Structure 1
C-alpha cells in the first residue's frame, strides 16, 4: 500500500485493482478498485441540507477518482497511522469525539440526524490491504476480525462515556482489500486472522493514544466533537 497525503485527500494506492469490501459512503459493498481514499471535511464542507454522498461523489469526480472507494473524517489526515504485520497493511485515522458505547447511543440533536455523516465528528476509518487472495466469505469474516480489533483498541484507550467505556464511534468505517483467491477462512485461529487483528489493533491504538493525549479520555458533547 502506497500512501499520498495531499490535504484534504489521503490516497491509498493498492498497487493494482483489487476486490474491496466496505460500508464506505462512496462505492460501498463489494467493489473492484485500485485506490481507497479518505476525505478530510470541515463544517463549511457539509452545510445543513446538503446531501453528503452526492457532494462526495462530485468531489471524487473532480479529481478523477469516481471509481474508487472513499471515506470521510474530520480528524486531520496528518494524524494517520499505519501498521504492517506479515501479509497485512492497515491504515487508520482515529478521531474519538464521536465516541459511542455499543448498545447505548448518545442523544443526537434533531438538527444532526444520523446516519448522515456529520461535519464536526471524528471517526475511525480503516483501509486494510491483505496480500493473500480471499473468497467472498473469507473477506466478510476478515471484516469482522478488523472490527473486533478496532473495538479492543478503543477499549484499551479508555474513553469514558456516561454509559461506560466507548467501543467505537458512531460513524466508524472499514474498507478491506485483497485479490480474489481460494483462501476460505480468516478467523482468529488462522495466521492471517492473527496478523490482521494485530495490524488493525496496533494502528487504531496508536491513533487513539494520540487523540487522548490531545483531548483527554472524556470526549466533548456530540455536536462539536472532533
Structure 2
C-alpha cells in the first residue's frame, strides 16, 4: 500500500508540474502576443503620423507648385511681348488670328492673373481705337517659367467684304503698333510683326476683336 501511495503521489506531483509549466508557457505566449499587438498598434500610429506629415508638407506648396515660393505677377520689367499679325486673311465665315507672345525674361517664374487689355490705334488717327480684353476668355492664373513663352490669340477681321475688290484690304484701323497691358501693370507699345519678324500692320476692318486667355 505504501508503494502504491508513493507512486500516486509521484504521479500527482508530475501532473502538477506539467500543468504549471503549461500555464507559464501560455502566459508567456499571451504576453508576447499582447506585446506584438502593442507594437503593431504603435507602428500603425507611427505610420499615420508619417502620412500626416507628408500630407502637411504637400499642402504647404506655394503658387509655383514646387518649392512653395509665391509667384510674382508678370510685368513689363520681367517680360517681353510680341504681336504677330495673322498669317492668313479672314474669310466671310472665319476670322483672322493674330498672336500675342509673352516671354518671361527673369530668373523666376511669374504669373498672369486677371484680364489683359489690347488697344490698336490707327496710325493716321482717322478712326476710333479698337479696344478689347481677355475677361470673357477667362482670367485664371497662368504661371510662366523663366525663359518660357505663353501665347494668346487675337481674332479679328482684316478684310472689307462690303467694298470693291480693290478696297478689300483697306480697313478703318491700320495700326503698326498695338498697346498691351498686363493685369495691374502699365501698357506698353509693341510693334506689329509678321511670322518672320518683319514689321507689319494690324489691319482691323470689323468691330469684333477678341483676345483669348494666355496658355503655356
TM-score of Structure 1 vs Structure 2, range by shorter chain: under 0.3
TM-score calculated relative to the size of structure 1: 0.25
Work out which structure has the larger RCO, using CA pairs closer than 8 Å and 6 or more positions apart in sequence. Answer: 1
